[in-house]
Structure 1
Amino acid sequence: MYNNLFCNTIYFSDAIGNLGEHFELIAIKSSGISLIRFMQPLFILLSILSVGAFVFNNNVIPAANLKAFSLLYDMRNSKPTLNIKAGQFSKGLEGYTIRIGEKGNDGKTIKNVLIYDQSSGMGNDRVIVAESGEMIPSEDGHYLTFRLRNGCKYEEKLNTGGPAANEQTRMYFKQWDKIFDLSSFKLNRTNQDLFKGAYQMMNISQLNESIDSVKKYDIKIQQNIESFVNPYLYIFNYKTSANYTRYYKQLATTKTKIKYSSSILSMMKDSIKNACLQQSLSNCRNIKGLLDINVSDASIQNDNLLKYKIEWHRKFTLSFACLLLFLIGAPLGSIIRKGGLGMPMLFSICFFLVFHIISIVGEKLSHSGALPPFAGMWLATSMLLPIALFLINKAKKDSQVFNLDTYKVFFKRIQQLFNKSK
């Protein structure tokens, strides 16, 4: 999307700059067509493209992100392709350690084969040795067959009587097939519904639903805290108006007043003082534990809420940026009156970099909570829109704001004033 914005700025500044360089823009203005009227068809075209960019950004990109992220997740969690190299022990197959002395140029012929079968979980209780053989993959790629020749298979069956009682067998063979299961190397696709909760995979309506859900959950957290803490804080049992009035009427009619002391414990009997302390500590620990859990949960939900709101505004800001950079590029080309890769390219790059940097800074400020998502995501637009209006005003008046000769004349006049004063 940012590539389109960059090309948008360069294209219009270069195109209109070419018209100004060849005096075609002057001919258009002399015929009674103002710059604003000349830019109207381009503005309408860009408006249509901006709406199309919004639709694409709202519908196509989330679906593409969902497929890309799920595929990337599956690739990261899948095993690499089995690669058995000559002269090295390979542990790519689970439960087996394989060593091949030599490997033919055809990639199938193998010699001096040594296989440690550890699939039983009892160590190297089965060992296979062969002089030569072939590696034959199945047509569907799910299995790999080692067709071994002139070898021997050693097997040790463990018994409870100790190592001396173990049964050992040895089997010689002229040809024997050992089949390995390669299903663990297959790319298993994860259900894409597991990734639909990420903000990158949502459109506007889904983001609105997620924002409402987070707000409702935040209210639920507050209610949970209140319902748990209130029983420990007895004064809150009188929070209703009727109980509150009755409670203070009782205080007003009480004849015996207890003077406040610096320590409430000093007014208690020694027999119940320790019990009160232990009960108070237990209550405080319970309240603190619950508050820690809920604060952590609320912090996570607040981060999710910021991400949803930032993504919501991003879908609008990028589309509006197409129009904004057109409003900068078109009058910029009219003022510079040069085409090609010179001045138009230089100023276009500068304005695009300013827009891009401010956008990144605003987004990071929104993520950190320093700015509301609305202010952070529209920060670049709000700062460049006055510049666009300023350039349009200067282009209407045929200003020479970017003409170097104008500044040379200005500095020469200042120099002459200093020379006269001397």
Structure 2
Amino acid sequence: MLKKLDWYIIKTFLGPFFFIFSVLFFIFIVQFAWQQMEKFVGKGLEWYTITELLFWLGINVIQLVLPLTILLGSIMTMGGFGERYELAAMKASGISLTRILAPLFTLVALMSVGLYFFGDKVMPYSQQKARTMYFNILQTKPTVSMKEGVFIETVPGFQMKINKVSGENSEKLEDVFVHQNAPFGENTMTIIAKKGNLAPDKNDNHYLKMELFDGIAYTDNIKNKNFDQRKRQENQYTKFDTLNYYIDISDILNSGKDEDPGNSYKYLDGKGLRHLIDSLNTDYKKYYKDLKTNMFNQNYFYSIKVKDIDTVKTNMIFDLKERNRQEQDQVLNQAVQMVNRDQENMTFSEQEIVNREKLYSKVNIHYQRNFSYAVTCIIFFLIGSSLGAIVKKGGIGMPVVISIIIFVIYFILNFSAENMAKNGKLDPTFAAWAANIIALPFSILFSYKANQDSGLFDISIYVDPIVKYFNKFKKTNKNEEHSRYQ
């Protein structure tokens, strides 16, 4: 049963909490929107469409805003109590600091649980919602995904580079380069044009109609032709004044309309992430086993069947010196080719392993992050409330400075550990919890100091014991010197 004092403490905390949360959320969302704005502004989109899309994309900043709000709010609340001598009055009446913090701790614990469910349920939904909106926009405004002067691969099977995009709906293109990708040995085409227009086809919105002007289309007809035939083949190109080129975007639109998150880990909840992690582990073990088997099978010497005999005349399979010059060259060339092939296979396998480990780390960190950020709320509350009780300063001066310093240190530790894990230098589970593991001892220390009414930032507390220790030696030396003259 909550008493009047508990309600007063909670009310005092919630006032600055909502104000701080609103300000920080606005700052973070504006900073995020500023980074993403160039992708959508000037592309013929309505302002409310851009606002909604940025909201769904940026709502995940709450995972950073809430812990920082709890840290700053707890410092301001307890610091205000100390500055107004309310904390001293509570303690004088026999109420311990632990009892004073109990209602706030319960409230923060509920917030941390809410933050976990927010990361587990709301964030995947918001990311999927933003993804669906983006592809629906792409259906009507295909140039949204295009950046001037940069190669893009938004449309599967094509690489595009457009130096300038203009027009009311960003439909006018200048200096256009389009390359159609194809599997090895298939025909390819490259188009270069001075100007063009890009818009959805009026008859079928699953196609983009690219109308190009004053350009050249290069064609490589290499299908079913050997190397010599390709080498003798003349360059094939066609100059055109106007060329209508249709690009199929059915796969993009279908993936955008599909509300099922699929295999993308950002759209999965905790259950889906656990299943994906188990699947990745199983796939990795199978890949490593197959890789080991293939390496042994491809090795010539391991593939030789050894006969059970007692003695052999030589320790070599054959003596190279007994062969003629042509056979020696042939053997050496085969050996070099085998080494080069094995080296290429090893390089490819190494890169594949790195990519698989990086994906596993990203998924695992994303899964652990929901738990770690929830625990961060509690750790930040312990640190903030203890520092507020020790410093005894409310308002927006000292608490803001302390909160920013602590949050910046936490932010650097957290993201440094995550980057190390993604690069394979740190276990992903440990990386997700590293900042909390480092911050936890400090939260316990500050809580202990606050309960003991210790002046944490009073230098004399740490200096005086050292001075007293050395003063003992001075007194001993003086007594010895005095005794010699008696």
| TM-score relative to the length of structure 2 | 0.56
Distance change in 2, residues 1:55/1:393 (3 Å): same
The corresponding residue for 2:313 is: 257
How far the C-alpha of 1:3 sits from its partner, in A, is: 1.4
1:355 aligns with 2:410: yes
How far the C-alpha of 1:191 sits from its partner, in A, is: 3.3
Distance change in 2, residues 1:122/1:23 (3 Å): closer
Q: Is the CA contact 1:29–1:35 (under 8 Å) kept in the aligned structure 2? A: yes
The corresponding residue for 2:25 is: none
How far the C-alpha of 1:334 sits from its partner, in A, is: 0.9
Aligned partners of 2:214, 2:380: CA distance in 1, in Å? 69
Aligned partners of 1:303, 1:16: CA distance in 2, in Å? 43
The corresponding residue for 2:67 is: 5
Give deviations 1:360-386, integer Å, cap 9, x for gaps: 222222222222112322221122111
Aligned with 1:230: secondary structure? helix
Q: Structure 2 counterpart of 1:55, which letter?
A: F
Aligned with 2:121: secondary structure? helix
Aligned partners of 2:326, 2:404: CA distance in 1, in Å? 81
1:223-372 equivalences in 2 (<5 Å): 223-233=289-299, 235-236=301-302, 250-251=308-309, 253-254=310-311, 256-259=312-315, 264-268=319-323, 273-372=328-427
Whose RCO is larger (CA < 8 A, sep 6+)? 1
The corresponding residue for 1:17 is: 79
The corresponding residue for 1:47 is: 109
1:56-71 equivalences in 2 (<5 Å): 56-71=118-133
Question: How many residue pairs align between the two structures?
Answer: 317
Aligned partners of 2:402, 2:84: CA distance in 1, in Å? 20
Q: Structure 1 counterpart of 2:121, which letter?
A: N
Aligned partners of 2:384, 2:376: CA distance in 1, in Å? 12
Distance change in 2, residues 1:273/1:25 (3 Å): same
Q: Greater CA radius of gyration, 1 or 2? A: 1
1:204 aligns with 2:262: no
Q: Is the CA contact 2:198–2:211 (under 8 Å) kept in the aligned structure 1? A: no
Q: Is the CA contact 1:66–1:196 (under 8 Å) kept in the aligned structure 2? A: no
Residue ranges of structure 1 left out of the alignment (5+ in a row): 96-117, 124-183, 418-422
Residue ranges of structure 2 left out of the alignment (5+ in a row): 1-62, 145-165, 175-194, 201-209, 216-248, 472-486
1:380 aligns with 2:435: yes
How far the C-alpha of 1:393 sits from its partner, in A, is: 0.9
Distance change in 2, residues 1:70/1:265 (3 Å): farther
Give deviations 1:118-149, integer Å, cap 9, x for gaps: 979999xxxxxxxxxxxxxxxxxxxxxxxxxx
How far the C-alpha of 1:71 sits from its partner, in A, is: 2.8
Q: Structure 1 counterpart of 2:321, which letter?
A: S
Q: Structure 2 counterpart of 1:400, which letter?
A: G
Q: Structure 2 counterpart of 1:220, which letter?
A: K
Q: Is the CA contact 2:75–2:388 (under 8 Å) kept in the aligned structure 1? A: yes
How far the C-alpha of 1:322 sits from its partner, in A, is: 0.4
Distance change in 2, residues 1:94/1:367 (3 Å): closer
Aligned partners of 2:335, 2:259: CA distance in 1, in Å? 47
Aligned with 2:410: secondary structure? helix
Q: Structure 2 counterpart of 1:339, which letter?
A: G
1:402 aligns with 2:457: yes
How far the C-alpha of 1:282 sits from its partner, in A, is: 4.6
Give deviations 1:11-48, integer Å, cap 9, x for gaps: 11111112222222122222222111222222222112
Q: Is the CA contact 1:18–1:339 (under 8 Å) kept in the aligned structure 2? A: yes
Aligned with 1:378: secondary structure? helix
Q: Structure 1 counterpart of 2:415, which letter?
A: I
Distance change in 2, residues 1:121/1:349 (3 Å): closer
1:78 aligns with 2:154: no
Distance change in 2, residues 1:39/1:264 (3 Å): farther
Aligned partners of 1:336, 1:372: CA distance in 2, in Å? 37
Distance change in 2, residues 1:257/1:63 (3 Å): same
Aligned partners of 1:122, 1:22: CA distance in 2, in Å? 78
Give deviations 1:173-194, integer Å, cap 9, x for gaps: xxxxxxxxxxx9xx96723468
- Greater CA deviation, 303-312 or 287-296? 287-296
Aligned partners of 1:119, 1:289: CA distance in 2, in Å? 42
- Greater CA deviation, 65-74 or 1-10? 65-74
The corresponding residue for 2:283 is: 217
Give deviations 1:357-416, integer Å, cap 9, x for gaps: 221222222222222112322221122111111111111111122358x68x97xx99xx
Aligned partners of 1:93, 1:316: CA distance in 2, in Å? 46
Aligned partners of 1:84, 1:74: CA distance in 2, in Å? 15
Q: Structure 2 counterpart of 1:18, which letter?
A: G
Q: Structure 1 counterpart of 2:76, which letter?
A: D
The corresponding residue for 1:155 is: none
Q: Is the CA contact 1:336–1:403 (under 8 Å) kept in the aligned structure 2? A: no
Q: Is the CA contact 1:78–1:188 (under 8 Å) kept in the aligned structure 2? A: no
Q: Is the CA contact 1:221–1:294 (under 8 Å) kept in the aligned structure 2? A: no
| TM-score relative to the length of structure 1 | 0.63
Aligned with 1:197: secondary structure? coil
Identity %: 24
The corresponding residue for 1:99 is: none
How far the C-alpha of 1:287 sits from its partner, in A, is: 3.7
Q: Is the CA contact 1:225–1:290 (under 8 Å) kept in the aligned structure 2? A: no
**Pick aligned residue for 1:391 from 430, 434, 446:** 446
How far the C-alpha of 1:70 sits from its partner, in A, is: 4.0
